Each structure stands twice: as C-alpha cells, then as structure tokens.
Structure 1
Amino acid sequence: MSVGLMESAAPAPAPAAAPPSEVAVQLTNVSRWYGNVVAVNDITFSLGAGITGLLGPNGAGKSTILHMMAGFLAPSAGEVRVAGMTAWKNPEVYRHVGLVPEREAVYPLLTAYEFALMNARLHGIADAEAAAERAIDTVDLRHAMHRRIGGYSKGMRQRAKIAGALVHGPRILLLDEPFNGMDPSQRMQMMVLLKQLADQGKTILISSHILEELDQLANNVLVIVAGRLAASGHFRQIRRLMTDRPHTFTLQSSDDRRLAAALMAEASVQGLELGEHLTVRASDRGSFALALPRVARAAGVTLFELHPTDESLESVFSYLVKR
C-alpha cells in the first residue's frame, strides 16, 4: 500500500547559509542495490523543517537511506540532494549536516569535551573551544565532560555523539537510533532538545525502533518496507486513508447494551463487541463520528468516553509492515 502524502540555545553558530529553499532534503526516484540485492527501490520524498520519523523493520533499507543522505553511499539510480546540493562526494554538504550513526562512532580514549572539540576543529569553527562547551551543555554532559568516553554508559556515549553532531550548528540532523541505551530521564531530556531544535527550523530525521518516542516527536513519518516507501505523512492521516481496514473504538456509556443495539442499524458499523467496554468497528471514521451522538441521544444513552484504539503510530506501523 502506498499513501500519497509526500510531502535551549543553539549549540554553535550556524554555518554559512545553504541555498534558500523550504526543502532541506530531496530524494528523487532513488534506488540502491548491491549486486543482485536491491536495498532501496525507487524512493521519492522531501523533508523540510521539523521532525520526521524513519520507520521500517530490520533490513528494510533505513540505514542505506541515511548513508546516502549523509554522502557515504552513491545512489545506484536517482538523485539525493541535501541543502540544495548533491550529497555524494560533496564535502560542502557536511557544513549543513550533523550525523549520529547507530554504531559506536566515538574514540574511547577521548573525553566528551575532546570529542566535541575535535569535531569543531574539523569544521573549522573559529572559537572551537567555546563551540565544544556549548555542545556539551546542550546534551547535559558538563558534569562528565572531562571523563573518557570509554568509561561512559551507553546512554552517555549517545549524548557525546550527539554533541559532536551539533557542535557546528547544522540545519539538518540525521539520527540513527539516537535513544539507544538512554534511561527514561535521558530520553525525556533528548526529546525536549530535539523539539527545541525543530522549533528553531532544523530538519531532523530520526530512524528509531522506539515508536513511543516518535509518536510524541514526529510531525511526519516515512515507512519503509522491503526497500520501498510504503507510506508518508502524519501517521493519523495515513491511518484515515486505510480504507480497507475498519476503524476501532472503545466506548463507555450509561447503558452499553442499549447503545450497542441501536448502533447495529448504522451502515458505518461493521461489528460490535460487549465486554468491560463496548468495542465498535466502523468502516468510515467520519460517518461513525457523526452518527454516534445522534444514535445515543435517540436511545436515551449518555456517552462517557470514546477512544480510538488503532490510531497509534505502533498500530499504523504494524499494519503497513504486515501488508
């Protein structure tokens, strides 16, 4: 199934401005294959400011897409443009991109401050020391900034990697499993930081298996299945376009049995189940939402609660992958 919905302080001074454009990242008919194995198959999408979640099962092609966007891999076909420029073999792109790879891309003998400082110097920042300290403060590592990264917990190593990616103030952040190893408090702090960066106009792409965080963070999602783009857009919009899947609701009322009997006559209602709550399966969300208060009023029933049970990001993702 393909759904057509395409479409704190800064850690360091922003780099030279990229060519003006609302689109920060553009993939056009992009494919990547390794011999006879097709990892990414004819994918097109664009990203602007805000947070986008990149979702897919293991082996779906998510890391390949991130590596092409970061300029590490050439597309076998199609075009990848980042900050208005071709990503492949173009060092100028790195002025505008911060990458946090999933693998451990840190040097264990360096301190977090030294790691951020090294990245600042590689980017040619005039006051590299100040930029490194700002990045360290942004990820809340000042208390451990002079300890070697090899002695950090995994969550702290993740934050050190993020500090290194933020040190030059990029407009585009590519994050591969950034919440790995973080405890609940660290995840909450990171979510606040990413929202702040998005509010500043940054373009942030997050590949993650932690759907709960993306449910709260992402403006949009890209769902990759078997190398293809299965759906894109806000996950609730995607869900509402799934016309072949009934919408499920749970209700509580003053008389669930009477309400169930009355609802059976509605054309939009496909199924009912009485238990601790009344569960309703409806073919059309809008029609059911309009009919419910009318039916309840006619039956003399008071509605207390109504909850959609299949409009979470996890539900949408699971359905797309199973298809």
Structure 2
Amino acid sequence: MTTLTIDHVSRWFGNVVAVNDVTMEIGPGVTGLLGPNGAGKSTLIHMMSGFLAPSSGTVTLDGRTIWRNEQSYREIGLVPERESMYDFLTGAEFVVANAELHGLADPGAAARRALDTVEMTAAQDRKISTYSKGMRQRVKMASALVHEPSVLLLDEPFNGMDPRQRLHLMDLLRQMGADGRTVLFSSHILEEVEQLAHHIEVVVAGRHAASGDFREIRRLMTDRPHRYLIRSSDDRALAAALIADASTSGIELDVRERALRVQAVDFRGFTELLPRVAKDAGIRLFEVSPSDESLESVFSYLVAA
C-alpha cells in the first residue's frame, strides 16, 4: 500500500508562486486532482514524481523523500501533459528505451506488455511523428507502465483522445486502482473526474481548496450561491416576487442590460420558484442564464468555503 504525502509544499519561480503551502495525502485507489488551467496541478505532479524540487516543504513516498531518491523513481510512473517526445523513434523503440533506463531484465518483453495494455501494438512500429495526439498519449502511458510502478501520475491524460480511447483508459485506471495501486490524474473537466474518481483534491491559484469524497465536493459546488441573468416581460414585477423568497439573497435591476441579476442561495428552491412565480403573475421569461458558471468561479467559492 503506497502513499504519497505532500507536506506544506510550496514552489516558486522567481517572483511567481506556482504552489502555495499545499498539504495532502494520496493513497491507493484513483484520486482526481481538479482545478482550472494554471492552478498549479502540473507543478504539483512534477514534484510528486521527483522531477521538480519543492522550494519549501517535503514530498515523500511511504516516508521516503522523493527528490533525488533514485529508488523512489522505480515505483513511480509519470504521464506528462507536454507533447515533447522523440519523434524519430517508433512507439516500440520509445517504450523499450524507457524499459532499459529502468534496468529491466527483459526490456523487449516489458515493452510489448505495456504497449498491449494501452492497445498500441498495431501501431508500435510506426514513427511517433506520425501519431495522432491520442496515440501519443497512449504511448506515453505505455512508457509510464513499462516498469509496473505502484504509483501512476497522469497530467491531463484524456487530452486528444477519442471517446473509445477515453473509455478504455478510464477502465484501465479503475482496474489499477482496484488492484491497490496509487493512481492520481489531473483534469480541469469536472465530468472526467466525476466518472473516474471518488476522492478528489481541488487546487486553485496554487492553493489547496478542498479535499474529500467527490459527492461531498459536488454538493458544495451545487450549494454555492448561483448568479443568474434573467430577461422577462416585466422585470420589476418579477423582482418584487422573487426577493420575498428565502431562496434568493439579492436582486439587481440592470437598466443597461434591461435584465435582472439574481443571486440564489438555494439552487433547488430557486429553480422551482422562478417558473411558478412567473406563471402566477403572467410574466413571460425570455432568458434565464447562469452568469458565474466558469470553473474559476466554482473553485474560488470552494477556496472561501
């Protein structure tokens, strides 16, 4: 049972703080690292994999420091987001080279097993330069699995994959988690995490925003205040009817936009209230649209929660 521990870790580049005092523990099973682009997910993964030193704090694997610890690298597989690869090699040559770097007894056999696991056997003799983005992702996955690591770290692994490839990779990661491996993958797409990971870690602007069971985090996201832009046949009458209900905490009449801006504190209650009030008052609803549904707004709420 392998556990990654990140203890009060920060990482800065000059005056830019990429990761700010993050503490989390990643154990066996599948964990999702969720956050908007630029949140610090890649920097965290690079420190977890031993490719980047923390500016402060420690990253350990079962109590052993990872940075410059050659033994820990034997237990970790990394699938980076970056596309930089040795395009002049074939897929098989690339995976064999990684097997040789790990000092495996039979690099060829190990490479064949890894390529078969990610369904790349048919294309293994083609140059990487001819691969699609999804194929590149899969051959990177094969190189990360070639030494059968107990820890697998994946940075945005589903980028560029078609639906069939995504389903196959999800099934593979679920099986690895069920087998007791420690699997962590990053994503900025909520639905990817929801389909694959029950436990998630949320990072925003380099800070640790939330941690726990996915359903609980999802509830926090759903229960946060929601803001809506509403256009109707009688905005003033609609505002008067809505403000009296406990599901709303603020209503503003936007004269320039000729619309209402409504903040709802009870998502379910408001979605039931609005059509009922409009029908009872004979008000026609022309537009009801969320005005704060970006991932950044969702995650920013979690930071403050």
With the shorter chain as reference, the TM-score category is: 0.7 to 0.9
Following TM superposition, by how much is the alpha carbon of 1:242 offset from its aligned partner in structure 2, in angstroms?
6.9
Cα deviation 1:180-233 (Å, max 9, x = unaligned) = 111111111111111111111111111123332221001211111111101111
CA contact (8 A) 2:33 2:186 kept: yes
Amino acid at match of 2:247: Q
5 Å-filtered alignment, 1:271-282, equals: none
Cα 1:108–1:147 shift into 2, 3 Å: same
Distance 1:210 1:176 in 2: 12
- Which residue number in structure 2 is paired with residue 191 of structure 1? 170
CA contact (8 A) 1:40 1:228 kept: yes
Cα 1:151–1:284 shift into 2, 3 Å: closer
Could you tell me the percent identity over the aligned residues? 59
5 Å-filtered alignment, 1:77-92, equals: 77-92=56-71
- Which residue number in structure 2 is paired with residue 27 of structure 1? 6
Give the TM-score normalised by the residue count of structure 2.
0.74
Amino acid at match of 1:63: S
CA contact (8 A) 2:2 2:181 kept: no
- Which residue number in structure 1 is paired with residue 104 of structure 2? 125
- Which residue number in structure 2 is paired with residue 99 of structure 1? 78
Following TM superposition, by how much is the alpha carbon of 1:106 offset from its aligned partner in structure 2, in angstroms?
2.2
Cα 1:171–1:139 shift into 2, 3 Å: same
1:270 maps to 2:247: yes
- Which residue number in structure 2 is paired with residue 310 of structure 1? none
- Which residue number in structure 1 is paired with residue 200 of structure 2? 221
Give the aligned length: 250
1:236 to 210, 215, 222: 215
Aligned to 1:204, the other structure's residue is in SS state: strand
Cα 1:38–1:315 shift into 2, 3 Å: closer
5+ residue gaps, structure 1, are 1-21, 248-266, 272-280, 289-313
- Which residue number in structure 2 is paired with residue 12 of structure 1? none
Cα deviation 1:271-321 (Å, max 9, x = unaligned) = 6xxxxxxxxx88599xx9xxxxxxxxxxxxxxxxxxxxxxxxx99875223
- Which residue number in structure 1 is paired with residue 131 of structure 2? 152
Cα deviation 1:163-196 (Å, max 9, x = unaligned) = 0000000011110111111111111111111111
5 Å-filtered alignment, 1:47-62, equals: 47-62=26-41
Give the TM-score normalised by the residue count of structure 1.
0.70
Amino acid at match of 1:159: R
5+ residue gaps, structure 2, are 227-244, 249-263, 270-292
Aligned to 1:29, the other structure's residue is in SS state: strand
- Following TM superposition, the consecutive aligned residue runs of length 4 or more in structure 1 with deviations greater than 6 angstroms are 314-317
Amino acid at match of 2:123: A
Cα 1:244–1:181 shift into 2, 3 Å: closer
